[in-house]
């Protein structure tokens, strides 16, 4: 089974590299194609070309997507060796799909762990309950999404997860017997090189004291913690500044969470093109990632590749990336410890900062899409042999 694979990627979001889930497949598929594999995709906009008129309608489309994806697979089953599908998007048996290849359910954040966070968030940051009509709808949506996820995991040949905590969860909490493959996410060698080359000299970055966060603005990503983090850092370092990249939300919402008026030491960039990231990170000194739960944390790898020592909460995803970097992981929600860890980097000598910057680049090199794609394809070929028996 050393011949090139014919792979179908299935995901229920638009094929847009600004979206973390889609970007996993986009960059992975690019590497597979370079290696000689044939790759096609079926995404949300293939099923629904027109934009959804309302959030509720978008949610309904998400629930409708699996049946449309299943129809596509049935009509094209003979053209693929592997269906690599986001958990919940293909909740059907291979027999019902008429598919004889390898059916993979891929996690970009295991639903069971994310549900734990949602329960925590509901207690930590209570939100308005919504309208009488909206509450039953979204309760049904959550229930149905969980059912689709359970079914896809039950019917797949192989479960692909991105971090060690998810492997433990699958085995010890969910008690699934499905074969599990753990493959992290990464950056392409060209992108890693571009990020490193664009970085300003360590003397400039160390002096500028700019802290950067990359990610959508939400409580899960630490939106409710940034007010305290910024306040504590600036109490010790009044010249520290902050850059929020890819918040994907109106700036007013960010300022509301920070409970402050716009300030010149905070810059917000709601959206940016991936090719612009090296320039945006060039003069930054520290990466900060106070996320409470991740599938992996691609932004961390990019910050490391740019030579930015990075501080994150000690949670699934970041834990696997930063476990060997002393002082980079702090307890979730401990904003004081987080601010102190960032401040320690910002106040380090230029020599010490340079050492941490070089260590960051070396750590990022462990997460290469080229290597990950090759290893994943080899494992798929092995499992495909068993699936065809």
Q: Provide the CA 327 distance to its chain's centre, in angstroms.
A: 22
Residue 131 has a pLDDT of: 57
Residue 37 has a pLDDT of: 97
Residue 81 has a pLDDT of: 97
Residues 242 and 174 placed together within one structural domain of the fold: no
Query: Model confidence at 29, in pLDDT bands (50, 70, 90)?
Result: very high
267 within 8 A of 244, measured Cβ to Cβ: yes
**What is the average pLDDT value for the chain, to the nearest integer?**
94
Residues 45 and 67 placed together within one structural domain of the fold: yes
Q: In this predicted model, what pLDDT tens digit does every residue of 39-81 receive, in sequence order?
A: 999 999 999 999 999 988 898 999 999 999 999 999 999 999 9
Residue 107 has a pLDDT of: 96
Q: Percent of the chain having pLDDT more than 70?
A: 97
7 within 8 A of 32, measured Cβ to Cβ: yes
DSSP 8-state assignment for residue 347: T
Q: What is the mean pLDDT of residues 294-302?
A: 96
Residue 140 has a pLDDT of: 83
In-domain check, residue 138 = yes
Residue 133 has a pLDDT of: 56
Residue 138 has a pLDDT of: 73
Residue 20 has a pLDDT of: 86
In-domain check, residue 356 = yes
CA-CA distance, 18 to 283, in Å (whole number)?
22
Residues 209 and 63 placed together within one structural domain of the fold: no
Residue 128 has a pLDDT of: 67
Tokens of 369: 């899409």
- pLDDT above 90 for 168: yes
Q: In this predicted model, what pLDDT tens digit does every residue of 112-152 receive, in sequence order?
A: 999 999 999 989 988 765 555 566 767 888 888 999 999 99
Query: Model confidence at 19, in pLDDT bands (50, 70, 90)?
Result: confident
Residues 261 and 349 placed together within one structural domain of the fold: yes
Please, what's the largest Cα pairwise distance for the chain? 66
How many CB atoms sit inside 10 A of residue 347's CB?
14
Q: Provide the CA 98 distance to its chain's centre, in angstroms.
A: 32
- pLDDT above 90 for 204: yes
In-domain check, residue 296 = yes
Residues 174 and 249 placed together within one structural domain of the fold: no
- pLDDT above 90 for 18: no
- pLDDT above 70 for 385: yes
Q: What are phi and psi of 330, to 5 degrees?
A: -130, 165
Residues 349 and 376 placed together within one structural domain of the fold: no
Strands 310-313 and 266-269: unpaired
Alpha helices by DSSP H, listed for 217-368, are 226-236, 251-258, 277-281, 298-305, 318-322, 335-346, 350-364
Query: Domain count of the chain?
Result: 2
Give the range of the structural domain holding residue 359, as residue numbers without chain letter. 189-364
157 within 8 A of 383, measured Cβ to Cβ: yes
Helix (H, G, I), strand (E, B) or coil at 159: strand
Tokens of 378: 């080899």
Q: What is the mean pLDDT of residues 212-219?
A: 96
Residues 50 and 91 placed together within one structural domain of the fold: yes
Residues 176 and 196 placed together within one structural domain of the fold: no
Residue 129 has a pLDDT of: 58
Residue carrying the six token digits 């497949």 = 25
Residue 130 has a pLDDT of: 56
Tokens of 81: 């060796």
In-domain check, residue 1 = no
Residues 206 and 327 placed together within one structural domain of the fold: yes
Of the candidates 192, 207, 173, 213, the residue with the CA atom closest to the CA atom of residue 316: 173
380 within 8 A of 102, measured Cβ to Cβ: yes
CA-CA distance, 325 to 372, in Å (whole number)?
22
CA-CA distance, 56 to 4, in Å (whole number)?
41
Query: Model confidence at 355, in pLDDT bands (50, 70, 90)?
Result: very high
CA-CA distance, 356 to 42, in Å (whole number)?
41
CA-CA distance, 221 to 8, in Å (whole number)?
30
In-domain check, residue 219 = yes
Residues 217 and 333 placed together within one structural domain of the fold: yes
Residues 146 and 196 placed together within one structural domain of the fold: no
In-domain check, residue 352 = yes
Residues 157 and 176 placed together within one structural domain of the fold: yes
CA of 213: how far to CAs of 136, 242, 310, 329, 358, in Å?
A: 35, 8, 10, 15, 20
- pLDDT above 80 for 377: yes
**Residue 223 maps to which CATH number?**
3.40.50.2000
Can you state the percent helix, strand and coil of the chain, rounding each to 5? 50, 15, 35
In-domain check, residue 118 = yes
Residue 127 has a pLDDT of: 76
CA-CA distance, 240 to 308, in Å (whole number)?
15
Q: Across-strand partners of 158?
A: 104
In-domain check, residue 146 = yes
What beta strand segments (E) does the chain contain?
6-10, 38-42, 82-86, 102-106, 158-161, 180-182, 210-214, 241-245, 266-269, 286-289, 310-313, 329-330
For the ranges 128-132, 154-158, 190-194, 378-382, the lowest mean pLDDT is seen at 128-132
């Amino acid at each position: 089974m050393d011949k090139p694979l014919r792979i179908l990627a299935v995901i229920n979001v638009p094929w847009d590299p600004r979206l973390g889930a889609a970007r996993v497949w986009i960059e992975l598929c690019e590497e597979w194609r370079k290696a000689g594999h044939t790759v096609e995709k079926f995404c949300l906009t293939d099923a629904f070309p027109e934009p959804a008129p309302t959030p509720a309608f978008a949610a309904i489309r998400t629930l409708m997507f699996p049946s449309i994806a299943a129809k596509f697979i049935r009509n094209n089953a003979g053209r693929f060796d592997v269906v690599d599908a986001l958990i919940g998007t293909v909740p059907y048996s291979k027999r019902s799909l008429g598919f004889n290849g390898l059916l993979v359910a891929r996690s970009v954040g295991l639903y069971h762990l994310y549900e734990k966070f949602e329960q925590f968030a509901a207690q930590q940051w209570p939100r308005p309950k919504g309208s009488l009509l909206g509450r039953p709808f979204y309760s049904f949506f959550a229930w149905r999404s969980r059912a689709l996820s359970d079914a896809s995991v039950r019917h797949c040949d192989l479960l692909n997860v991105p971090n060690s905590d998810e492997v433990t969860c699958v085995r010890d909490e969910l008690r699934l017997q499905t074969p599990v493959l753990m493959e992290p996410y990464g950056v392409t060698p060209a992108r890693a090189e571009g990020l490193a080359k664009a970085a300003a000299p360590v003397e400039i970055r160390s002096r500028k004291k700019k802290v950067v966060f990359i990610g959508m603005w939400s409580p899960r990503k630490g939106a409710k913690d940034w007010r305290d983090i910024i306040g504590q850092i600036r109490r010790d370092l009044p010249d520290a500044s902050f850059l929020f990249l890819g918040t994907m939300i109106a700036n007013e919402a960010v300022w509301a969470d920070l409970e402050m008026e716009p300030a010149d030491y905070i810059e917000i960039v709601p959206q940016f093109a991936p090719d612009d990231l090296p320039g945006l990170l060039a003069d930054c000194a520290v990466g900060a990632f106070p996320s409470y739960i991740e599938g992996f944390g691609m932004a961390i790898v990019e910050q490391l590749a740019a030579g930015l020592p990075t501080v994150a909460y000690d949670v699934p995803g970041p834990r696997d990336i930063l476990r060997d970097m002393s002082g980079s992981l702090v307890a979730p929600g401990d904003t004081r410890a987080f601010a102190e860890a960032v401040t320690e980097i910002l106040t380090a000598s230029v020599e010490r900062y340079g050492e941490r910057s070089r260590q960051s680049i070396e750590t990022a090199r462990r997460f290469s899409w080229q290597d990950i794609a090759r290893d994943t394809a080899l494992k798929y070929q092995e499992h495909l042999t068993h699936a065809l028996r």
